[in-house]
């Protein structure tokens, strides 16, 4: 039995596409039942519709405040029947109340090796810090921004002469492998959120990728 999963996007949906492609493969343990965007012009909506996935728009600008926006988002998620939620370039900070209702059932991908380089422009942060490797992290979402425990990380090298665009492209290619792999682990029951930590059913399970 597959786990019903919704994807929240705000833009082009490249990670969404990677998840859709993975979920379309036989035996994948998650079924994408909805793609929801807070922006009506998000290009990812077209890609999802072309793939036959139900889409919805919950435009944050149409609501007087975050409370009413999140109530509408709750309604859209309830209508989809989703058990899991994947944030894929969803550019809105969610309230603690919204997140706490889904602890262990909502995940995000961030283009750094958390806990390093949280927030905006993590690739530039990495270059400014002079690190030799960077990558991405799929993590459980908790009320603190980019603070939830990691399900899986992918490591990529920082090359001499890299600028933020070059490093971002290399990390994005890794994200497209890492996010489906992490969703597979979660939907298969291979990891759960417990007492603020990611607890793996197999303590020896690989939770890092080296593309």
Tell me the pLDDT tens digit for each residue of 44-69.
Answer: 999 999 999 999 999 999 999 999 99
- Could you tell me the domains of the chain? 1-92 (3.40.50.170), 108-211 (3.40.50.170)
> Which range (72-81, 128-137, 172-181, 201-210) has the least confidence?
201-210
Q: Which of 68, 110, 139, 176 is catalytic?
A: 110
Q: Tell me what the pLDDT averaged over the chain comes to.
A: 96
Q: Quick check: is 110 catalytic?
A: yes
**DSSP result, 136-172:** EEEEE--SSTT-SPEEEEEEEEPPTT--HHHHHHHHH
Residue 128: per-residue pLDDT: 97
What is the C-alpha separation between 40 and 89, in angstroms, rounded?
Answer: 14
How large is the angle between the packed helices 122-129 and 164-187, nearest 10 degrees? 120
Mean pLDDT value across residues 164-180: 98
Residue 141: per-residue pLDDT: 98
Is the predicted pLDDT of residue 208 greater than 70, yes or no? no
What is the C-alpha separation between 186 and 188, in angstroms, rounded?
Answer: 5
Residue 202: per-residue pLDDT: 82
Residue with tokens 């036989």: 26
**Hey, which residues does 152 pair with through a beta bridge?**
138
Predicted confidence band of residue 1 (pLDDT cuts 50, 70, 90): confident
Is the predicted pLDDT of residue 206 greater than 60, yes or no? no
Q: Quote the pTM value.
A: 0.95
What is the C-alpha separation between 37 and 60, in angstroms, rounded?
Answer: 9
């Amino acid at each position: 039995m597959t786990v019903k999963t919704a994807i929240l996007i705000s833009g082009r949906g490249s990670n969404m596409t990677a998840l859709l492609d993975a979920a379309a493969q036989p035996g994948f343990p998650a079924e994408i039942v909805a793609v929801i965007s807070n922006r009506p012009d998000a290009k990812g909506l077209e890609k999802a519709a072309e793939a036959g996935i139900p889409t919805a728009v919950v435009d944050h600008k149409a609501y007087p405040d975050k409370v009413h926006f999140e109530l509408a988002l709750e309604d859209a998620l309830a209508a989809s029947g989703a058990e899991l939620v994947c944030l894929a370039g969803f550019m809105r900070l969610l309230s603690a109340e919204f997140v706490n209702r889904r602890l262990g059932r909502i995940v995000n991908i961030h283009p750094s090796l958390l806990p390093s380089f949280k927030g905006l422009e993590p690739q530039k942060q990495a270059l400014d810090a002079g690190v030799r490797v960077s990558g991405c992290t799929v993590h459980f979402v908790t009320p603190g921004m980019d603070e939830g425990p990691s399900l899986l990380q992918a490591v990529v090298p920082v090359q001499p002469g890299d600028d933020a665009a070059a490093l971002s492209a290399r990390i994005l290619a890794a994200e497209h492998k890492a996010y489906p792999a992490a969703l597979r682990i979660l939907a298969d029951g291979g990891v759960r959120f417990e007492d603020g930590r990611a607890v793996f059913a197999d303590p020896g399970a690989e939770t890092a990728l080296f593309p």
